[in-house]
Structure 1
Amino acid sequence: MARQVQAARRIPLSRERVLEAAVSLADEAGIESFSMRRLAQELGVVPMALYKHVANKEELLDGMVEVIVGEIDPPLPGSDWKNAVRLRVLSARQALQRHPWARQALESRTNKTPAVLDYMDSFTGMFLAGGLSVDLTHHVMHALGGRMWGFTQELFDDSRSPNGSVPAEIPPQAPAAMLRQMADRYPNIVAIAASAAHDDQSVVGHGCDDQFEFEFALDLLLDGFERLHTQGWTSKRAEA
């Protein structure tokens, strides 16, 4: 181990090396406990050495996001726009699943970096290249929102409702009296929760197949965009 640390210290520090180490550290420790001091320890340098390559922690996070964006597959050449968009979104989802902290980092960026803007421009370009109008593409991007990065705010994102009173899913071991009480007060939630086949490894909700739910909604949106494009749809503002 001592030899590995010494060897690492002999490798010249660069922005690329700093960002790669930062991503690895965030993967291991999470973004909450991430710090410039800890990153410096991982690299075997003093904290001030990092500031030759990144001005501050915010610039470091921007660079880390840049690394994640670089992992997303480019548009598939020769593919129709609908399939190209679908594959791109799922690639983005895989990238963010490899780095659980990345979503939080993306959402915390107040300024769009060149890497993020490049991705957004390329993503928008897939619709325009497919023949969708600028007007329709504008609304398409609003509809997709964070889904273009492979994530979305799910209905069952937590085990409780916003007011903390309603479980998103009913545990199978719940007493019959509790089930009856919930069914009386929240009949529609209980009907939905009891109807679906569940996967215990889900992160969307207790038992929901989050990958299936994500792709289900994505396909609904893409089908809808395609239908509007075929119909020559325009917004009322564009017609004015």
Structure 2
Amino acid sequence: MPARTPRPDRPALTRERIVSEAVALADGSGVAALSMRALAGRLGVEAMSLYHHVPHKDAVLDAMVDAVFAEFHTPVPGRSWREELRRRSVVGRETLLRHRWAVGLMDSSRSPGPEAVAHHDAVLGCLRTAGFSLAATGHAFALVDAHLYGFMLQELALPFDDQAELAVIESEIVDEATAAAFPHFTEFAREHALRPGWSFGAEFEVTLDLVLDAVAGLVDEPAASAAGSPPGPPPPIEVTVPVLGVDGCRAGWVGALLEPGAPRPRVVVAPTIVELVEAVRESTDVRVVGIDIPIGLPDSTTRQADALARQALPGKASSVFTTLTRAAYGAEDRAAADAVNRSLSGQGVGAQAFALRDKILEVDAWVRSRPTVEVLEVHPEVSFATMAGAPLRPGKKTPDGRAARLEALAAAGVPRPSVLEGRGYAADDVLDACAVAWTAARRTAGLSRRLPDPPEVFSDGIPATIHA
């Protein structure tokens, strides 16, 4: 009897087709539903036909995991290790949300496939070329993977998908007696988890940045040197022309004005950036305005300025959020912005980045109107790190953080400001504005540096660089 020929309307059976169908089966029904018989049925062949291409079910599972690794971002050695590992984790989470069955299998194979081996080699190479020792590389890889896979196991196991379901669960388990017995649990649920806009998934990138902060402490050569940080504190600044440092606050904007011969910074508050600058210019011919807000919005990438600022802040890099694409800032809400930004740059949208949307767009419109002052983007934490010779560890809202910032400013030639807090602005807002003003004064003296230098320029034509 002549051999049967394949039906012309059925694709040839290949290893790639078997693996693709196995992944689809697991995506739809879970990995427990995977069997050689079930897989053959989906492919329209006899189960024995599969063994011409894969020796057994475990080989299929190994190949499925390899296919998932192929969807991860592969870090590029020689680029910023932090940005590469961050993108790897963010894309990894997105991949594992598509292939939920894979979380517990990613590093379980005794025979990893070529994609898995190449991926691990790239991660190791990214860390090694950045100056991590072999031991530190092992620590860093383990920590980053523990965050990714541990977070995913928890996220996928949660008994709710959104806040509405969470609210139902909370109402079922928290009554008056429970609230009295477990006040901290109740407070967290009602005052944090059930607040509009919260989601467990949004914690991923926040906690990822904290993990990467810890990893930065393992590198043999501090990452700050890669960004050109000075080895120690610079001498006190001499203010020769009026400059204004600006920070956002609840009232709108708070400015710290440094003037030649003035005994201390003068604090000015206004609801808009235009009104603030106009109010200052009524009494002094301010030349340079530094502002703690992203200036120069990317089209479809992340910004070098943000990456270099993080490198300059080992242990404090989470204070630098990733600037969104211009199109994402034009979205109506965070969910829409997240979808737009992921499609363009592959990055999700953090709460802080989107919360500043209105202020970012306000400054963007002002800068594009071509004001008659030089406008600089400044990050206060980078400025404080520059003036102190190292990042300031205490949080800026703590008493120790306030004291450390006042001390750093005084040593850098900026006395205690005229006021520290008032209606609509806090002490940390004022001190940040003072640090920004200090950098603006360095700019006029030709002492400041730019991250990057030369600046990036996107389609808006605005140089994107952080001054320090």
Please say whether Structure 1 and Structure 2 have the same fold, judged by a TM-score greater than 0.5.
yes
Give the aligned residue type for 1:99: H
Q: Which residue, 217, 220, 224 being the options, matches 2:210?
A: 220
- Residues 140 and 222 of structure 1: is their aligned pair in 2 closer, same or farther, counting only changes over 3 Å? same
Aligned pairs for 1:59-78 within 5 A: 59-76=59-76
Higher helix share: 1
- 1:40–1:50: 8 Å Cα contact kept in structure 2? yes
**Secondary structure of the structure 2 residue equivalent to 1:32:** helix
Q: Which residue, 176, 180, 204 being the options, matches 2:176?
A: 180
Partner of 1:113: 112
**Secondary structure of the structure 1 residue equivalent to 2:175:** helix
- 1:93–1:150: 8 Å Cα contact kept in structure 2? no
- Residues 199 and 28 of structure 1: is their aligned pair in 2 closer, same or farther, counting only changes over 3 Å? farther
Q: Which residue, 186, 189, 204 being the options, matches 2:185?
A: 189
Partner of 1:236: none
CA distance in 1, matches of 2:150, 2:57: 25
Deviations 1:15-45 (A, max 9, x none): 1111111112222222122221111111111
- 2:96–2:152: 8 Å Cα contact kept in structure 1? no
Q: Which residue, 191, 196, 211 being the options, matches 2:201?
A: 211
Gaps in structure 2 of 5+ consecutive residues: 1-5, 161-165, 224-468
| 1:152 positional shift | 4.0
Higher-Rg structure is 2
Partner of 2:38: 38
Partner of 2:408: none
CA distance in 1, matches of 2:156, 2:43: 40
- 1:127–1:137: 8 Å Cα contact kept in structure 2? yes
| 1:199 positional shift | 8.2
- Residues 208 and 32 of structure 1: is their aligned pair in 2 closer, same or farther, counting only changes over 3 Å? farther
**Secondary structure of the structure 2 residue equivalent to 1:154:** helix
CA distance in 2, matches of 1:83, 1:135: 21
**Secondary structure of the structure 2 residue equivalent to 1:121:** helix
CA distance in 1, matches of 2:57, 2:195: 38
TM-score (norm 2): 0.40
Partner of 1:86: 86
Give the aligned residue type for 2:216: E
Partner of 2:133: 133
Deviations 1:74-118 (A, max 9, x none): 2257631100100011111111112222214336x3525134333
**Secondary structure of the structure 2 residue equivalent to 1:74:** coil
| 1:191 positional shift | 1.9
Pair 1:147-2:147 in alignment: yes
| 1:52 positional shift | 1.0
**Secondary structure of the structure 1 residue equivalent to 2:132:** coil
- 1:96–1:102: 8 Å Cα contact kept in structure 2? yes
CA distance in 1, matches of 2:195, 2:27: 25
CA distance in 1, matches of 2:187, 2:34: 42
- 1:89–1:149: 8 Å Cα contact kept in structure 2? no
- Residues 151 and 76 of structure 1: is their aligned pair in 2 closer, same or farther, counting only changes over 3 Å? farther
- 2:75–2:88: 8 Å Cα contact kept in structure 1? yes
Higher strand share: 2
Aligned pairs for 1:88-103 within 5 A: 88-103=88-103
Give the aligned residue type for 2:204: F
| 1:65 positional shift | 0.7
Aligned pairs for 1:41-60 within 5 A: 41-60=41-60
| 1:8 positional shift | 4.9
More off after superposition, 179-188 vs 16-25:
179-188
| 1:221 positional shift | 0.8
- Residues 113 and 15 of structure 1: is their aligned pair in 2 closer, same or farther, counting only changes over 3 Å? same
- Residues 156 and 49 of structure 1: is their aligned pair in 2 closer, same or farther, counting only changes over 3 Å? closer
Deviations 1:169-203 (A, max 9, x none): 6647737x952211222222222222215489xxx
Count of residues in Structure 1 that have an aligned counterpart in Structure 2 = 212
Deviations 1:134-158 (A, max 9, x none): 2222222232234355844439944
Partner of 2:326: none
CA distance in 2, matches of 1:24, 1:156: 18
- 1:92–1:150: 8 Å Cα contact kept in structure 2? no
Partner of 1:122: 122
Partner of 1:234: none
Gaps in structure 1 of 5+ consecutive residues: 161-168, 201-206, 232-240
- Residues 157 and 40 of structure 1: is their aligned pair in 2 closer, same or farther, counting only changes over 3 Å? closer
Q: Percent identity?
A: 30
